């Protein structure tokens, strides 16, 4: 079983749609959680950190459920520019910088 | 967040040769991280580079194949040695922390022929 699992998609949605991505992680001692965005042939870029209380940044909302070892990302009012691969990333407990990446979920927003 | 300059951006190399990838950070950082992204895959950590000590390698990666230098707090190199086609990947360096997240270099796209 992979340490971080995501549905690879692709998710094909129309502009303006709301889309949700889910991610599960296997190490209950994991401490830090992130969503990264990776465009084709580019490096990953931090979209947002994920906090236990949940957090929102504009159209993006991230949630963490430690009991279920589950992370989610909600994108509201999808834009064409949101088309990318979204990576769920977990920091190993007690190991700064040792990030475990999910395989990514591909989103394609269509006009 | 830190700005990372990584080079080369891409290279095509003959099997059996070596390539050294450089990362320069615009601020001093304690740790730098090297990742590999194989075609169609997500990122995998190769090693953690600390200034003044040997790098710490993850399972499946060894120093002889991926020697790392960390001469100061703003610079690191990763060498891919004795390359084979299986080494064709994107190699990325990263810096950051658990609070503010991690920044990646733009990557080195390596093709071994």
Pick from B39, B61, B44, B60: which is nearest to B110 by CA? Answer: B39
Pick from B21, B2, B16: which is nearest to B77 by CA? Answer: B21
**Cα separation of B30 and A70, whole Å?**
31
Confidence of residue B88 (pLDDT cuts 50, 70, 90): very high
Q: What is the mean pLDDT of chain B?
A: 95
Q: Do B42 and A34 touch (CB under 8 A)?
A: no
pLDDT of B28 strictly over 90? yes
Check residue A80 and report its DSSP letter. Answer: G
CB distance from B44 to chain A under 8 Å? yes
**B37 → chain A, closest CA residue:** A43
Q: In tens digits, what is the pLDDT along chain A, a chain of 111 residues?
A: 789 999 998 999 999 999 999 999 998 888 899 999 999 989 999 999 998 888 999 999 999 999 999 999 999 999 999 999 999 999 877 667 789 999 999 999 999
- Mind listing the pLDDT tens digit for each residue in A89-100? 998 776 677 899
Q: From chain B, pick out residues whose CB is under 8 angstroms from the CB of A41.
A: 109
Residue A1: what pLDDT? 78
CB distance from A101 to chain B under 8 Å? yes
CA distance, residue B5 to nearest chain A CA (Å): 12
pLDDT of B66 strictly over 80? yes
| Option in A31, A44, A96 nearest B104 (CB) | A44
Q: Do A99 and B102 touch (CB under 8 A)?
A: yes
SS (H, E, C) B44-80: EEEEEEECCCCCEECCCCCCCCCCEEEEECCEEEEEE
B108-112 and B10-13 beta bridge pairing: parallel
| Option in B31, B92, B101 nearest A49 (CB) | B101
Residue B100: what pLDDT? 83
With DSSP H G I counted as helix, E B as strand and the rest as coil, what are the percentages for chain A, rounded to 5? 5, 55, 45
Q: Residue written as tokens 């609070």?
A: B99
Pick from B85, B73, B58, B69: which is nearest to B26 by CA? Answer: B73
Contacts of residue B60, Cβ cutoff 8 Å, sequence gap at least 6: none
Which value, to the nearest 10 degrees, does the dihedral of the CA atoms of residues A91, B7, A105, A36 take?
50
**Cα separation of A77 and A1, whole Å?**
34
Q: Do A101 and B43 touch (CB under 8 A)?
A: yes
CA distance, residue B32 to nearest chain A CA (Å): 8
Q: Do A44 and B43 touch (CB under 8 A)?
A: yes
Distance of CA B78 to the CA centre of its chain: 5
Average pLDDT over residues B5-26: 97
Contacts of residue A58, Cβ cutoff 8 Å, sequence gap at least 6: none
Chain B interface mutation, best of A96, A98, A102, A104, highest count of B Cβ atoms under 10 Å: A96
**Cα separation of A81 and A58, whole Å?**
15
**Cα separation of B22 and B7, whole Å?**
5
């Amino acid at each position: 079983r992979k340490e971080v699992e995501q549905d690879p998609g692709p998710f094909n949605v129309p502009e303006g749609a709301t889309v949700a991505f889910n991610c599960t992680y296997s190490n209950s001692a994991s401490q830090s959680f992130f969503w990264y965005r990776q465009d084709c042939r580019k490096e990953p870029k931090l979209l947002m950190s994920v906090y236990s209380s949940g957090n929102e940044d504009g159209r993006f909302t991230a949630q963490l459920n430690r009991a279920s070892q589950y992370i989610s990302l909600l994108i509201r009012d999808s834009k064409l520019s949101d088309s990318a691969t979204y990576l769920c990333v977990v920091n190993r407990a007690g190991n700064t910088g040792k990030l475990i990446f999910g395989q990514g979920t591909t989103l394609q927003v269509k006009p | 967040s830190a700005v990372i300059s990584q080079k080369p951006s891409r290279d095509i190399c003959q099997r059996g040769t070596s390539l050294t990838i450089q990362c320069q950070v615009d601020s001093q950082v304690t740790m730098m991280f090297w990742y590999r992204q194989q075609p169609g895959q997500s990122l995998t950590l190769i090693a953690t580079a600390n200034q003044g000590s040997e790098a710490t390698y993850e399972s499946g990666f060894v120093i002889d194949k991926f020697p790392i230098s960390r001469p100061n707090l703003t610079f690191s190199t990763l060498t891919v040695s004795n390359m084979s086609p299986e080494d064709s990947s994107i190699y990325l360096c990263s810096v950051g922390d658990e609070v503010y997240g991690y920044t990646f270099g733009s990557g080195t796209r390596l093709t071994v022929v």
